[in-house]
């Protein structure tokens, strides 16, 4: 479930393709075996029963599941079986009838081969389109884990949109002249409009994190970028106003961390085998709604020593529900698995989240486990 970037395009078959081909081989053997069995039954029963015609479905099934070469093999076995059965049972019918029957099986086999080739071309086109889409999405969110001199960040990302790698949740980890800065955010809404708004905020963070001396300045720059995006989106597409909940973390050299909350889910600190929620004195308003606040955003300091870990997540985790409407017990799970290494912790959380929701995730979900380097 953790994000993975697929390798580059190559003329060599991928591991998935080789595995798929290996699985098709037993299917081909089974289909050929069925044709032979039907032919034997037909010959054994006699009386011109011609049940061999039923085995023509084997070539059709092969066309839907197997490669072109395997379809040719199944079609050849079927044609040979028809020739044997019709020669044995229909000799009295005359040569024209047998030729017509055998010729019909050959035509059916050729049609199945053409059908297989058409299906294969569509699969290859879909694979290329999917690869291009994945590459485009990876330009927005980088593969986890992410590393800087200060931290190692493991995590997972689950998109609620079918066949999509990303949705409205965003994250980033950057080394800057002011220390490592971490962002996690959640865009209101779903689909392409949410992705566009998230991209505006994420792009602004990547720029501002390097140039803004204050973490508050980074948040201000992200909010301005989102407001500009909302203005142009409303003008060009009529899209409604978007806001983004976010949490920005900056590591300090003295074993502390600065946190700015923008209406986002509170983080958790894992230390000494225990999990504790970090309550923010000022949770703040989401990006895009800052003007509604009566005061400016504030920075909160918290201990974050070498070896400590902090868990950041979106509300797709904390608000995930099971079939009975029970929220996912994140605090209990973190306390249970607090001593696990970060990759194992992420894996356990991901699998447990899917079990809890019955693999029916209704919202995008992201989890980052930030581990501070050092002894």
pLDDT reported for residue 245: 92
Instruction: Please state which of the ranges 37-51, 160-174, 315-329 shows the lowest mean pLDDT.
Output: 37-51
How far is Cα 29 from Cα 112, in angstroms, rounded to an integer?
A: 17
pLDDT at 193 over 60: yes
Q: Can you spell out the DSSP letters for 151-162?
A: EEEEEEEE-SST
Q: Locate 44 and state its tokens.
A: 């054994």
Q: Can you spell out the DSSP letters for 33-73?
A: HHHHHHHHHHHHH-TT--GGGGGHHHHHHHHHHS-HHHHHH
pLDDT reported for residue 216: 93
The mean pLDDT value of the chain amounts to 81
Q: Can you spell out the DSSP letters for 258-302?
A: EEEEEBPPPPEEEETTEEEE---S---PPBT-GGGSSS----EEE
The pLDDT of 321-328, averaged and rounded, is 87
How buried is residue 188: exposed, middle or buried, by Cβ count under 10 Å (0-12/13-18/19+)?
A: middle
- Give the dihedral sign, CA 52/71/120/24: positive
- The more confident residue out of 56 and 228 is 228
pLDDT reported for residue 208: 93
Q: What are the φ and ψ backbone dihedral angles of 150, each rounded to 5 degrees?
A: -95, -35
pLDDT at 163 over 70: no
pLDDT reported for residue 261: 92
pLDDT at 217 over 90: yes
Please check whether residue 365 is in contact with residue 317, taking contact to mean a CB–CB distance below 8 angstroms. yes
Q: What are the φ and ψ backbone dihedral angles of 24, each rounded to 5 degrees?
A: -75, -25
- Give the dihedral sign, CA 9/11/17/18: negative
Helix axis angle for 95-138 and 56-65, nearest 10°, is: 20
- The more confident residue out of 13 and 77 is 77
pLDDT at 11 over 50: no
pLDDT reported for residue 219: 93
How far is Cα 226 from Cα 291, in angstroms, rounded to an integer?
A: 13
User: How many distinct helices (H) and strands (E) make up the chain?
Assistant: 9, 11
pLDDT at 13 over 50: no
pLDDT at 10 over 50: no
Q: How confident is the model at residue 56 (pLDDT cuts 50, 70, 90)?
A: confident
The pLDDT of 266-286, averaged and rounded, is 87
pLDDT at 24 over 60: no
Distance of CA 222 to the CA centre of its chain: 27
pLDDT at 14 over 60: no
The pLDDT of 169-186, averaged and rounded, is 93
pLDDT tens-digit readout, 93-147: 556 666 766 777 778 778 888 888 888 888 888 878 777 766 766 778 888 899 9
pLDDT reported for residue 264: 92
Q: What are the φ and ψ backbone dihedral angles of 326, each rounded to 5 degrees?
A: -85, 130
> For residue 28, which of 63, 70, 60, 56 has the smallest C-alpha distance?
70
- The more confident residue out of 78 and 302 is 302
Percent of the chain whose predicted confidence (pLDDT) is above 90: 27
pLDDT at 91 over 90: no
DSSP 3-state percent helix, strand, coil across the chain (nearest 5): 50, 20, 30
Answer yes or no: pTM beyond 0.75. no
Instruction: Please state which of the ranges 7-11, 154-158, 325-329 shows the lowest mean pLDDT.
Output: 7-11
pLDDT at 6 over 70: no
Q: Which long-range contacts (CB under 8 A, 24 or more apart) does 290-296 make?
A: 290/223, 290/262, 296/216
Q: How confident is the model at residue 34 (pLDDT cuts 50, 70, 90)?
A: confident
Angle, vertex CA 105, rays to CA 100 and CA 111, nearest 5 = 125
């Amino acid at each position: 479930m953790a994000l993975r970037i697929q390798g580059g395009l190559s003329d060599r078959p991928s591991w998935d393709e080789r595995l798929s081909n290996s699985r098709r081989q037993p299917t081909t053997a089974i289909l050929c075996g069925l044709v032979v069995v039907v032919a034997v039954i037909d010959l054994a029963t006699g009386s011109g029963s011609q049940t061999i015609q039923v085995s023509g479905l084997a070539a059709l099934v092969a066309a839907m599941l197997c490669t072109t070469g395997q379809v040719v093999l199944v079609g050849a076995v079927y044609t040979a079986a028809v020739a044997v059965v019709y020669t044995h049972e229909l000799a009295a019918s005359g040569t024209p009838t047998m030729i017509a029957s055998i010729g019909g099986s050959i035509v059916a086999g050729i049609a199945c081969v053409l059908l297989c080739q058409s299906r294969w071309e569509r699969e290859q086109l879909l694979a290329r389109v999917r690869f291009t889409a994945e590459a485009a999405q990876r330009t927005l969110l980088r593969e986890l884990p992410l590393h800087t001199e200060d931290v190692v960040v493991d995590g997972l990302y689950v998109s609620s949109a079918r066949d999509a790698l990303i949705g409205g949740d965003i994250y980033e980890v950057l080394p800057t002249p002011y220390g490592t800065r971490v962002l996690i955010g959640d865009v209101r809404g779903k689909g392409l409009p949410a992705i566009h708004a998230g991209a505006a905020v994420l792009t602004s963070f990547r720029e501002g994190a390097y140039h803004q001396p204050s973490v508050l300045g980074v948040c201000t720059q992200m909010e301005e970028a989102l407001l500009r995006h909302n203005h142009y989106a409303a003008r060009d597409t009529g899209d409604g106003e978007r806001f983004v909940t976010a949490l920005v973390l900056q590591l300090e050299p003295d074993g502390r961390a600065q946190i700015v909350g923008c209406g986002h889910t509170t983080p958790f600190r894992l230390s000494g085998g225990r999990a504790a929620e970090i309550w923010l004195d000022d949770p703040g308003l989401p990006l895009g709604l800052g003007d509604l606040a009566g005061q400016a955003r504030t920075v909160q300091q918290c201990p974050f020593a070498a070896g400590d870990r902090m868990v950041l997540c979106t509300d797709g985790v904390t608000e995930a529900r099971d079939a009975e409407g029970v929220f996912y017990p994140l605090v209990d799970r973190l306390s249970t698995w607090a001593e696990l290494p970060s990759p194992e912790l992420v894996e356990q959380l991901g699998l447990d989240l899917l079990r809890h929701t019955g693999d029916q995730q209704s919202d995008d979900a992201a989890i980052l486990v930030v581990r501070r380097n050092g002894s």
